[in-house]
Amino acid sequence: MAKFATEDLRNVGVVGHGDTGKTTLVSACLFTAGAVSRLARVEDGHTTTDFDEEEIARQISIAAATAHCDWKRKQITFLDTPGYAVFRAEAKGALRVADGTIVAVDAVSGPEVMTEKVWEYLRDYEVPAILVINRLDRENSSFERAVESCVDSFGREVVALQLPIGEAHDFIGVIDLLEMKAYTYQRDGDGKGTAGEVPAELQEAAQAAREALVEMVAESNEDLMEAFFEEGDLTYEQLVGGIRDAVHKMQLFPVLSMSSLHNIGTDRVLDACTDLLPSPADRPQLVGHQDDVPQWTMADSSAPFAAFVFKTMADPFAGHINLMKVFGGTVQADMHVENARTGSDERLSNLSLLQGKNLEPLEEAVAGQICAVTKLKDTGTSDTLRAKGSDLIIEPAVFPQAAISFAVTPQSKGDEEKIGAAIARLLEEDPTLKVERDPSTHELLLSGLGQLHVEVTLAKMKHRFGVSATLKPPTVPYRETIRIRAEAEGRHKKQSGGRGQFGVAKIAVEPLPRGTGFEFEDKIFGGSISQSYRPAVRKGVEEMAARGVLAGFPLVDFKVSLLDGKEHSVDSSDIAFKIAGSLAFKEAVPLAKPILLEPIMKVEINVPDDSMGDVMGDLNSRRGRVQGMDPRKGRQVIHAEVPLAEILSYAIDLNSITGGRATYTMEFARYEEVPPNIAQKVIEDARQAREA
């Protein structure tokens, strides 16, 4: 395998909304560059970067994948990312290590929700970008309309570098506005265009578009502006150099034309990757932030070793595969390094390049290169690997938090332990998944960014580890408590030949402030109950409180005082007083006006301005209480409190209301009393469930 210097590398994230042809675009580039032998399409199920069984079955990208090719003596590593919002963390993680970006935009739909979201990510990480108007072979496609939409969404720095030749089924090539040449292509061919003259009917449009391009390039540089004023134009060399510099500084976002499905315009996209997007040597690497100020370092193979693990894959056969970008130094096989998080020693054996799912052995990796390492002992996503003695820690991407939870139950008895082990493996490769055991309901809860995200996780679990499970909405962890003080006596007497059972306990129950928990006080003076039996009364109370009295939910925030009782010299025992305590509690609580409590969640919703009214109305319908709003650019952050029972499916509903443009986070705030009409329904449902 050829070796490349840092300046000859191009790490290119391929991002955009779902169904914009990103994976097919990568496949077309690999085929045109000769890295693969066939032009594969997503619907065929044989693309290099969609290799997971779920990706093939659903015909969508689920995880970021890498593939590489050589073009113009440069190595381009593509990071193909999913375009659906529930998998957006994969795109964010890839952009953390990309040095340039291809933003795929559908020629019919224009920029959509995820296009806007990934644009925020690449702005956050300052990753230069080119836009590719893809799928120009479709009916109702319009390059002009798509470019106008991109300008509206991303600013006037978006400017056409090409114009398409033909529309829809007649799309056959592109006009290069730098060279003022036309490149035509054979449909489903090798992706390499034949140069010719600009068609006469497009001369005027091409000239106008070129003038707009020249003006934008001149604006980005004072020397070019001066040359433009003097000559009225820029030379080819000035244009190319000016565009490259402006792209690197994110002052210009060139737009290209393409049909990845029919391999039209592919060579021009590859040219743009090598000629316009930066190498790791051209662009400082973002190490982290100090006092909100970005800290950068240059990719330098002579520097001490440092690498950042941006993705972990859990393969049932190969084990862990860690994808990392080298920030400094050179990696060689069997090199020993330090994990900054754990302080442990790691041996970098089995160094490889990933071509989709295939590992290609690599002798060494230079600064700026993306490579794979297998069989690391204690390294996962977001870890920094560094030379021993170094204090460098590379800041990871901040991933969105899980937004929706489901209870996971095994389909077969005895599979619960297998489920836990399988989910643990999947958590290693997806930092946005969360799993926990609810201490109240004892359900195993799996949380993700959306229902599709959780469903795909279960499908992976079945395919990879042979464990099947089902999903259901989680049980809301209601609580019960009391309002007033009440007293009651519990008497347990049983005689059935031989030694009997006898115990009497008189208790008082009273409410405590919310969040206090449970208190037990022994108020017996004298010996009506022996000291040794009194803990049994408490145990009986605690066991009964755990089962509740209204709807089977634990009773909280109350105090029990042991007031009096009776015992028998022969028949009394711990078990007798435990039962007496539970009976007294069971009698006292209904007298103390028990009520149902529900968890209230603190919710923060980031929503576009034009969806504010709909979101606020929906919150009101969910018994939500808005606490305040913070304006952002074109958006609002709503702070509200909402009962958990009302937002179990909020991720799905919020996506529907806002077209997927809003996000939210939530955390537990406190418990509050359930309104009587709702409480009655919860109690009735619980009664029916017990009877069933």
Q: Positive or negative, the Cα torsion across 25, 27, 28, 29?
A: positive
3-state secondary structure of 85: helix
Q: Using pLDDT thresholds of 50, 70 and 90, give the confidence band for residue 651.
A: confident
Query: What does the pLDDT look like over 72-91, one tens digit per residue?
Result: 999 999 999 999 888 999 99
Predicted confidence at residue 442, as pLDDT, reads: 79
Which tokens go with 666?
């939530």
Most confident residue range from 45-54, 250-259, 305-314, 522-531? 250-259
Rounded CA separation 175/158 (Å): 17
**Residue with more model confidence, 30 or 690:** 30
Which tokens go with 651?
């991720």
Nearest CA-CA partner of 275 in 157, 161, 150, 135: 161
Q: Which domains does the chain have, with CATH numbers?
A: 8-283 (3.40.50.300), 291-386 (2.40.30.10), 407-472 (3.30.70.870), 480-593 (3.30.230.10), 597-687 (3.30.70.240)
Query: What does the pLDDT look like over 527-563, one tens digit per residue?
Result: 789 999 999 999 999 999 988 889 988 999 999 999 9
| Residue at token pair 């730098």 | 178
Rounded CA separation 162/255 (Å): 7
Rounded CA separation 470/660 (Å): 26
Kind and range of the H or E run holding 199: none
- pLDDT of 2 above 70: no
Rounded CA separation 294/125 (Å): 9
DSSP state of 280: T
- pLDDT of 319 above 80: no
Predicted confidence at residue 638, as pLDDT, reads: 93
- Backbone phi, then psi, for 111, in 5-degree steps? -65, 135
Kind and range of the H or E run holding 136: none
Rounded CA separation 84/6 (Å): 32
Predicted confidence at residue 497, as pLDDT, reads: 65
Query: What does the pLDDT look like over 395-419, one tens digit per residue?
Result: 999 888 877 788 898 888 777 778 8
Predicted confidence at residue 333, as pLDDT, reads: 82
- Report field, pTM of the whole predicted structure over 0.85: no
Predicted confidence at residue 498, as pLDDT, reads: 67
Rounded CA separation 308/383 (Å): 6
Rounded CA separation 313/428 (Å): 8
The mean pLDDT of the chain is 91
Share of the chain above pLDDT 70, in %: 98
> How long, in residues, is the chain?
692
Amino acid at 337: V
Which tokens go with 546?
């755990």
